[in-house]
Amino acid sequence: MTRRERQELIDKGLLLPLMEEFYTIQGEGFHKGTAAYFVRIGGCDVGCHWCDVKESWLAELHPPTETEKIVENAIKYSDTIIVTGGEPLTWDMGPLTAQLKAKGVQTHIETSGAYKLTGQWDWICLSPKKMKLPTEEVYEKAHELKCIIYNNDDFKFAEEQAEKVNDNCILYLQPEWSKRDKVIPKIVDYVMANPRWKVSLQTHKYLNIP
């Protein structure tokens, strides 16, 4: 396969830069505690300074993998498939999710929403970032809004984002892991004063699992 042919397949979403895939427990948000198969796609230019998977940023570091192979592996383990990154919407998610849905599994995505929403999703976890804000479409379709709290200004940002999502979207505040001891008390106080919000924790880190 030539470089041009490979790039055409990547552009069509038939090849995706696969960083890693693994079966574990969802640790965050609405589906925490649920067994699920994670597919981590490389490539992200949003550039969060506190990102805990910076190795996902450069798509070139991760092998272009046929979506058929990704699906074949995923359905062996779970009927809930979570696509994350990186930023998976950097790529066309249509082919991957069409094949997953054809197998009868649930498709979830964790995204900053910074790019066009592609794919068929049963659950959209929107985690917006200040550096590159979500599209209007993903605000309208998000099932949960997960705002990361690193400092006091992030509460204001979270409220601004909450005004943009649909009325049925579940609202979460999640401490940035390295600042958890400092910000968790603030999040607790904030949620108690503003009960439309819920607390999300990275429980997989407390459980010492991927």
25 annotated as belonging to a binding site for a ligand: yes
42 annotated as belonging to a binding site for a ligand: no
Show Cβ contacts of residue 161 under 8 Å, excluding neighbours closer than 6 positions: 128, 134, 145, 147
As to burial, measured by CB atoms within 10 angstroms (0-12 exposed, 13-18 middle, 19+ buried), residue 136 is exposed
125 annotated as belonging to a binding site for a ligand: no
149 annotated as belonging to a binding site for a ligand: no
120 annotated as belonging to a binding site for a ligand: no
CB 172 within 8 A of CB 161: no
Show Cβ contacts of residue 110 under 8 Å, excluding neighbours closer than 6 positions: 82, 83, 84, 85, 88, 125, 127
Strands 35-41 and 15-25: antiparallel
34 annotated as belonging to a binding site for a ligand: no
84 annotated as belonging to a binding site for a ligand: yes
51 annotated as belonging to a binding site for a ligand: yes
Closest by Cα among 87, 102, 100 to 45? 87
82 annotated as belonging to a binding site for a ligand: no
27 annotated as belonging to a binding site for a ligand: yes
Tokens of 178: 């390295």
69 annotated as belonging to a binding site for a ligand: no
| DSSP code, position 145 | E
CA dihedral (90, 94, 98, 104) in degrees, to 10, reads 40
210 annotated as belonging to a binding site for a ligand: yes
86 annotated as belonging to a binding site for a ligand: yes
The annotated binding site for [4Fe-4S] cluster is made up of 44, 48, 51
The annotated binding site is made up of 25-27, 40, 44, 48, 50-52, 84, 86, 127-129, 210
The annotated binding site for S-adenosyl-L-methionine is made up of 50-52, 86, 127-129
The annotated binding site for substrate is made up of 25-27, 40, 84, 210
